[in-house]
Every structure is written in structure tokens, then in C-alpha cells.
Structure 1
Amino acid sequence: MSFDLPRNVILPVDAVDVRLDPGPHPFERDNRQAIAENWRREVRANPALFDGTVVLLSALAYRDSRLVGRCHAVKYSTFMLWRQNRQGTGAEHAYAHAMLVAGDNALVAIRMGAHTVNAGRVYFAAGSFEPVDFRDGLVDADFNMIREVGEETGIDLSGAARGQRYHALSTPSGTVIFRRYRIVEPAGEIARRISAFVAAEAEPEIEGPVIIRHAADLPEGLMGHMKPLIEWHFAGKD
């Protein structure tokens, strides 16, 4: 199967069948020394880094409106080495975005904190899949989205209306799986709630909320994969 899916196009996704393989990822198995050496350099540059557990794909395909794949738990230090030179590694990254839609149809994204790897960058509150996001070996993308938004913004999406299906966009930097989550409050009120949550946190992950009100309203620091998602939303796609 390897990696077999259309690139740079938004795909409708009715199911995410990505399973966690208990075996080691070949990239981590074959690069342990380089991973350790690079991690020492990364920590010297940013002592706030934590070598937790995330997942990397070893296969992903798009079949009959489904994403089918295989991933492995790896250390964050493995991910940090891999992201420096992704070509020919036999690994790819997938992550999920809850597209937070306010009652006035504006989008509410976040800007990452200065101590993070993506300092100053703007995207929807999100994080890599972790082993906790899997149920009987199968990824639960909605659980990941709700968990990450709650941890970063304090917003509970568990009762929010969800889009009919997932969508996905695969680019050279990774595959983002996204879904609309609608909240009745206007964007300004949601942003106020997020700002209050961030102000109360001892070590917040994010700098604060970013409101996007139309397709041309692209904030400074926007991650490259976000522009097609924003255009898709304001074009009324589903």
C-alpha cells in the first residue's frame, strides 16, 4: 500500500481506517543514534521540548472515500529528526484539525506560543495523534480533535454540531484530516473565552486566538496547508 493518495486536492472522507501497528517504525529502528544526537541539539536550542510519544505513518492510501493506513508509536525526538528531511524515509505524518466555525461563520484558529516548535505559526488548534487517540488499534480522529482543542483553548467541542464527513488534504508536509465543528457564539466571544483560558494557564501552548472572517483574510504566520482549507470553507464546500 505504501503512500497512495492524491496530493494537493481536498478529498471527501467517509471513514478514517488508520491502525496502530505495535511494531517499531523502520525509520526509528534504523536511525537511533542520529535521533539521539539531533535531540540533544534540539533541547539545547529549546529546553522546553518534551520527548513524548506521537505516531508516524508507514502507509496511507485513499480508497472509496476512505483513508486506510498503518502507523507506529515513536518518540517525539524521532519525529523531530524525520521532519528535517522527509523524502525517502518511508514515513509520513497525518494530523487532524477541528475547523472551529463560529455562529457568524468566521473561523477561529490559534497562534502557537513562543516556546513551541511552531512558534508564531497560525493554524487550527491541533496536535499529532498519540496512542491515547486509538480505540482497539483504530484511530479516533474526533477524539483527537476534541482533546487537542480542549487542551489548547479550553473550548469543549464534545457537544458541537459536526460536519457530515471528514475531509483530507495531503501535501508534501503531511496529510491533514479536518472536519467542521460549529459553535453558536460569534467569533469575538469565542476568542474572548480562549484568551481568558490562555491568561489563566501557567504554561499555555498557544499565544492566543486568531479570527479569520473571509477567504482573503489570511493572517501573518499562516501555515501553508491552511489557505486551501480556508478557501474551501468560505466557498461553502462540504
Structure 2
Amino acid sequence: MTSLTIHRVTTLDLAVRPLVWPFAEERRADIAVHFAEKQRERPKLWNGRVLLGRDAVFTDDHLAATYFETDFASFLAWRDWGFPDAAVFNGFGMGALRTSDGAFVMGEMAQHTSNAGRIYFPSGTPDLNDVKGGVLDIPGSVVRELAEETGLTAADYTVEVDWHCVVSGRAIAMIKVLNLDMPGDQARARIEANLAREDEPELSAIHLVRGMSDLTPTMPRFVTAFIEQQFASR
């Protein structure tokens, strides 16, 4: 998982197991100091429970991996320190909203979040709410995160069959294309109206990507690679 690769799959097999993460145990004191520093910068950060993956295997149209529970502080330190445990990856779902006129809809993360200023599709690091019967429910995570960040529900879009799994460094973005039956400007206005009703929205702005010229350095590479592939196939 060192170079960027995009796997197109139809099924996900993501078992959740009770594993001990040596990195989190051995660096506990350093992690606590690091998180305290981050909280001083962004007081809204919360040290909740999240899920990280390991042992990812792609076979034909299938992705299998094992997930384990850890705290957000350990995840943040692992990410900020350059991913010192190379056996672990951050695997998450993303809902790629595509409007009826072909634009992709992305959100800019608000300043109080850990990814402030970054622009990408609605998503989030999986947590315990996404576990169903010992399995990580990425489709459910996508629906939940989309509703929380944009106000859109499953009634607002149709879901394509395949997952576009973008492997970039220690991240696997499992992207599902969601087709909205409305043009880009209407979709943006609707989401912005929803954000205006919230006291502290996760997103600070909505961006429409209609072509390669709309890509920016604030978009993660796994997002721009997916967009490039989508536009190339048109």
C-alpha cells in the first residue's frame, strides 16, 4: 500500500475483532501529550472510539480486511507522526455525490475539525456506530455521514453498485457514487441551507467539481485520483 491504486469491487468483508494495538499501548504517554496540544489548538476535538484496519486483501471484485477499536487520540498521533505502524491503515467510506449535470459535490471541513480546510466527499473515520453484528458496515457509514454533514438522505439519491477503493499510502478510501436527481447549483443551495440551520456544522463551504480545473491542493490525493479517473472515462 505504498503507491496509489484504484480497485473496483462489489463486496466488502470487514470483520471487527478485539485486537490490542502495540503502538497505542507503547506510546500512550506521548499520545496523551500530543492530543492535549491538538485540543489547545481545536478545543472541540473529542477523544472518542474509532476503528482502524489491517490485513487488507483485494481479490477479483472483493475487499477483505480486519478492523479493531482504538481511541481517536491514538489515531491522530499515528496519522500526524507519519504512520509509524505500517501494518495499519485508515479505511473509510465516502459518498461521491454526482449531480444530474455531472458535477461532483464536495465539502470543505470547518475550522474546529481535525481536517480543517480540507475538501473532499462526505466521510468519516468509522466508529462503533458503524458495527453491525461484528462487521463494519461501510454502506451504513456512508449514509450516516452524508446525512450528518449535508442533510441528504437515502431518498435523495440512487446508489451505484461498485465501490471504487482508492489505496493511497496508509489510507483506503471506499468511494461509492451517489447520483442526485438535481443539478449542481440546486444541490449546493440545498446543502448550504441545511448547514445554515446547524449551530456548528462540520462543513464550512460546498464546492462543485465540474472538471479538472476545479481540483485544488486542499483535496487529498485519493479524492483527486478518483475524480481524474471519472472524468477520463466520460
**TM-score normalized with structure 2 length:** 0.93
2:91 is aligned to 94
1:185 maps to 2:154: no
2:45 is aligned to 49
Q: Which amino acid aligns with 1:216?
A: S
SS of 1:93's equivalent?
strand
Greater CA drift, 154-163 or 60-69 = 154-163
1:149 maps to 2:124: no
1:74 is aligned to 70
After superposition, residues 1-238 of structure 1 pair within 5 angstroms as 7-84=3-80, 85-158=82-155, 160-219=157-216, 221-236=218-233
Q: Which amino acid aligns with 1:204?
A: P
**TM-score normalized with structure 1 length:** 0.91
SS of 1:233's equivalent?
helix
2:156 touches 2:181 (CA, 8 Å); kept in 1?
no
C-alpha displacement at 1:158, in angstroms?
4.8
C-alpha displacement at 1:223, in angstroms?
1.9
Aligned equivalents of 1:128 and 1:214: distance in 2? Answer: 27
SS of 2:211's equivalent?
coil
Structure 1 residues 177-201: Cα deviation after superposition (integer angstroms, max 9, x where no partner): 0110001010111100111111111
Aligned equivalents of 1:200 and 1:16: distance in 2? Answer: 35
C-alpha displacement at 1:68, in angstroms?
1.0
Question: Equivalent pairs: percent with the same residue?
Answer: 26
Kindly indicate which of the two structures has a greater share of residues assigned to helix.
2
Aligned equivalents of 2:130 and 2:171: distance in 1? Answer: 18
C-alpha displacement at 1:137, in angstroms?
1.2
Aligned equivalents of 1:226 and 1:73: distance in 2? Answer: 25
2:2 touches 2:170 (CA, 8 Å); kept in 1?
no
2:209 touches 2:215 (CA, 8 Å); kept in 1?
yes
Aligned equivalents of 2:188 and 2:219: distance in 1? Answer: 17
SS of 2:92's equivalent?
strand
C-alpha displacement at 1:6, in angstroms?
8.0
Aligned equivalents of 1:189 and 1:180: distance in 2? Answer: 18
Q: 1:42 to 1:69 in 2, by over 3 A?
A: same
User: Which runs of no fewer than 5 residues in structure 1 stay unpaired?
Assistant: none
SS of 1:204's equivalent?
coil
User: Which runs of no fewer than 5 residues in structure 2 stay unpaired?
Assistant: none
C-alpha displacement at 1:58, in angstroms?
2.8
